[in-house]
Chains A and B, each alone.
Chain A
């Protein structure tokens, strides 16, 4: 089954092809408005638990913690789309506390991490986290010259086109490994096939 899958893997293009400008919807907000939204990604309350604290003392925090203000600002920044990425990239080093997650233990995350995971990777690296340590967003962008280079190219694209590009890379690079879960790769292949009949920016 793995051999069959390998034969059917799509080639991954070295660069993201710019999407025709007529298909793009430039973000209609100013740099100041983006700065205001980034400011709202900083949680108004401190983290409820310390980093790496796995105690179960409050069911309210069983799945982590995101303040509603942070949730709302994230949604707005996500909706701006990739043309806002170059401005957001400058905030990746922002170390203010933003939210907490709980995958294998409790973790507190920065504003920069929120932008990376919930604005850049969300909706693009759709198989990050499906196979432990493989197919991550950072591995993907590193394969194409690093995050800075990817942001520049992504700014002239749209999220569905970026997702298609990620899926091509995931299938060509991650799924060629023998140890990888075949059902995850079959699912990624099916996602890519569903996108093939759509316009580049169609969800």
Chain B
């Protein structure tokens, strides 16, 4: 957060600030923990499968995630992202998150090994397959579910930013890649007349727990 060109305003005064900062960091840590412990398998379309459990994910996303977190559960990348994120912030949808713009729209691979604007661990972004935007019916017909890839920023590792996406079994090391490697992976997706063209979506979702309400606790730093 300190590395970001944005200012995150923590809610409260005095000692409250420290407590609220801890709450915010804890929410992001829970998202990362959920990713670290992911065991569910990848699937899209007809192949998805979630076991019947007695927990409603809308009421208790974290409990639901833990109940279905088995290799026999087969879920899509957006569903997996939704569960790890909303489990981390403690409620499904609701008010504990917001979106903020990033330098989106850039084609991937990027010219550098890092996104031009720092992401914060636990930020949820999306790589769009712009080829599927141009020819949605054709992609739908031939290769359903390949409209893009949901990714989470994890950390800087050996000098490169690394991101998790759910494209193999949950625990697979192959799910942790740099942004450029995600781009290369997505460019292997093909239909008969075209190949995927990856680009970053222009915003990320992030937890707002502990941040000042009203402006989503965020503003771009003009310094």
Measured CB to CB, the residues of A under 8 A from B are: 51-52, 54, 56-59, 62-63, 101-105, 107, 109-110, 113, 116-118, 121-122, 125-130, 132-133, 136, 138-139, 142, 181, 183
Contact = CB atoms under 8 A, between A and B. Distances in A.
Contacts of A56: 82, 93, 205
Interface stretch (B100-108, B114-122, B139-147): B139-147
Interface in B167-194: 167-169, 188-190, 192
Contact of B149 (A51, A102, A104, A183): A104
Given A62-B92, A104-B145, A127-B47, 7 more contacts: A52-B133, A54-B126, A129-B46, A129-B48, A132-B146, A142-B192, A183-B71
Contacts of A59: 58, 92-93
A116 B140 CA distance: 10
A118 B46 CA distance: 8
A130 B43 contact: yes
Interface in B47-82: 47-48, 57-58, 71, 74, 76-79, 82
A122 to B, nearest CB: 5
8 contacts: A56-B205, A103-B144, A122-B46, A127-B47, A129-B45, A130-B43, A133-B189, A136-B144
A129 B82 contact: no
Contacts of B192: 142
Determine the interface band of chain B, counting residues with CB < 8 A from chain A: 35 or more
Interface in B124-153: 126, 133, 136-137, 140-150
Contact of A104 (B41, B48, B76, B205): B76
B47 A129 contact: yes
A104 B82 contact: no
Contacts of B58: 59, 62
Contacts of A57: 93
Given A102-B76, A132-B44, A52 B147 contact: yes
A107 B93 contact: no
Contacts of A104: 44, 76-78, 126, 145-150
Given A107-B136, A181-B168, A129 B92 contact: no
